């Protein structure tokens, strides 16, 4: 269920879980972040939901609502699989915290807010230690909400234009013996390794 682009209240989500249970479906993929909205509360990063949840339609979940939905699903033998989409699909996050973006690009400007248009957008997370620290906080928060075995990190449809024009990203790629386009694989592997430590 893509609540990042089309927000559903917690009660709406629970209604859908009831329907899933009736059909004996036992995994619920909950897409919580994208260019069009960040719906997941993260400790230490309040602007993600304060600013990042006002995209195509407004709304974010509280910690209590997420825990309630997860508990509701568990009672119906449904495992919740949350998705936080990185390193692309991050316009809402970069709008809230511009330092997560590729700010060293000449003429770069932060987005005004989450995208109000569909499609894949140019903003990507910078391949930096600051971003990995941020993602560590994201996964720490997710650990406290979602007791299941799986987390979806997205990792698809990353436009590499920003990495090609960022001196820091280009330097990172060069150190790895890679092109800017190959940073996506490197980034996904780093995120996967980080997630395994949580």
What is the phi-psi region of residue 89: left when phi exceeds 0, alpha when psi lies from -120 to 50, beta otherwise? left
Query: In terms of DSSP bridges, do strands 152-154 and 37-38 run parallel, antiparallel, or are they unpaired?
Result: unpaired
Catalytic annotation, pick one of 112, 156, 157, 185: 157
68 is catalytic: no
- CB neighbours of 140 closer than 8 A, spacing ≥ 6? 43, 198
Catalytic annotation, pick one of 31, 34, 54, 121: 34
34 is catalytic: yes
- Name the strand (E) or helix (H) holding 65: helix 63-75
89 is catalytic: yes
Catalytic annotation, pick one of 31, 54, 89, 121: 89
Among candidate residues 116, 114, 108, the one with its CA nearest the CA of residue 169 = 108
* Residue 148 to residue 152: CA distance in whole angstroms: 11
Angle at CA of residue 48, ends 42 and 51, nearest 5°? 150
- Report, as residue numbers or ranges, the catalytic residues: 34, 89, 157
């Amino acid at each position: 269920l893509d609540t990042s682009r089309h927000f559903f209240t917690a009660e709406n989500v629970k209604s859908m879980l009831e329907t899933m249970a009736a059909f004996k479906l036992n995994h619920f993929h909950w897409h919580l972040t994208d260019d069009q909205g960040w719906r997941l509360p993260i400790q230490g990063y309040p602007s993600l939901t304060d600013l990042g949840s006002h995209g195509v339609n407004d709304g974010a979940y509280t910690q209590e609502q997420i825990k309630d939905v997860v508990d509701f699903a568990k009672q119906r033998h449904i495992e919740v699989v949350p998705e936080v989409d990185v390193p692309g699909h991050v316009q809402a996050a970069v709008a809230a915290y511009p330092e997560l973006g590729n700010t060293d690009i000449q003429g770069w400007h932060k987005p005004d807010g989450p995208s109000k248009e569909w499609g894949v957008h140019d903003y990507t997370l910078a391949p930096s230690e600051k971003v990995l620290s941020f993602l560590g906080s994201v996964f720490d928060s997710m650990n406290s909400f979602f007791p299941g075995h799986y987390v979806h990190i997205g990792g698809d449809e990353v436009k590499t234009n920003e990495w090609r024009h960022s001196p820091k990203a280009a330097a990172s790629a060069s150190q790895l013996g890679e092109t800017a386009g190959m940073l996506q694989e490197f980034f996904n592997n780093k995120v996967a390794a980080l997630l395994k430590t949580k």
